[in-house]
C-alpha cells in the first residue's frame, strides 16, 4: 500500500502518521476524527457515453472528472472540519467510495482522518 502526503497553504495532509524518526514532522496535539463526504449523480449523457466506452474500450473521462471533483469536495469539507478544531493538519486519511441509489445512479466519496496540530 502506498501513501500520500502534501502541504498546501500551511495545512499538512497525509494518509499515514508521519514518524519523526524518519525525518517526518512532529505532531504536537491530536484533536480528533474529522470527515468529509460528497455524493455525485450520474446523468443520462455520461451514462450513454460510458456505455459506449464499455464496448469500445477507453477511459470514461466524464465520470473521472465528476469523481475527481467529488473527491476534492470531500477533502475540502474534511479540512474545514479540522480547521474548526484548530488543526493545521490531518493524518491517517482514508478514502472510501460507494455506489448508491436504486439504479446505482449515484456515487458517494467519503474521506476521514485525524485532525492534528503539527509542531512548529
pLDDT in tens, the chain (120 residues): 344 556 666 788 888 877 765 666 788 999 999 999 998 876 544 554 555 545 455 666 667 778 888 899 999 999 999 999 999 999 999 999 988 876 767 889 999 999 999 887
In this structure, what is the dihedral angle of CA atoms 84, 86, 87, 93, given to the nearest 10 degrees?
-30
CATH number of 18's domain: 3.30.110.70
Give the β-pairing of 5-8 and 106-118: unpaired
Q: Where are the alpha helices (DSSP H) in the chain?
A: 44-56, 61-84
Number of residues that this document lists for the chain: 120
User: For the whole model, what pTM was predicted?
Assistant: 0.76
Which residues 6+ apart lie within 8 Å of 120 measured at CB?
28
Query: Residue 59 is part of which domain span?
Result: 5-118
Amino acid at each position: 500500500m502506498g501513501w500520500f502526503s502534501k502541504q498546501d497553504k500551511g495545512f499538512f495532509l497525509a494518509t499515514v502518521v508521519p514518524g519523526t524518526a524518519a525525518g517526518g514532522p512532529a505532531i504536537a496535539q491530536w484533536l480528533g476524527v474529522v470527515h468529509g463526504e460528497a455524493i455525485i449523480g450520474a446523468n443520462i449523457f455520461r451514462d450513454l457515453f460510458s456505455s459506449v466506452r464499455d464496448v469500445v474500450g477507453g477511459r470514461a473521462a466524464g465520470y473521472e472528472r465528476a469523481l475527481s471533483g467529488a473527491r476534492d469536495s470531500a477533502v475540502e469539507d474534511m479540512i474545514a472540519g479540522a480547521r474548526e478544531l484548530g488543526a493545521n493538519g490531518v493524518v491517517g486519511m482514508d478514502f472510501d467510495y460507494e455506489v448508491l441509489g436504486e439504479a446505482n445512479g449515484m456515487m458517494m466519496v467519503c474521506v476521514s482522518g485525524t485532525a492534528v496540530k503539527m509542531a512548529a
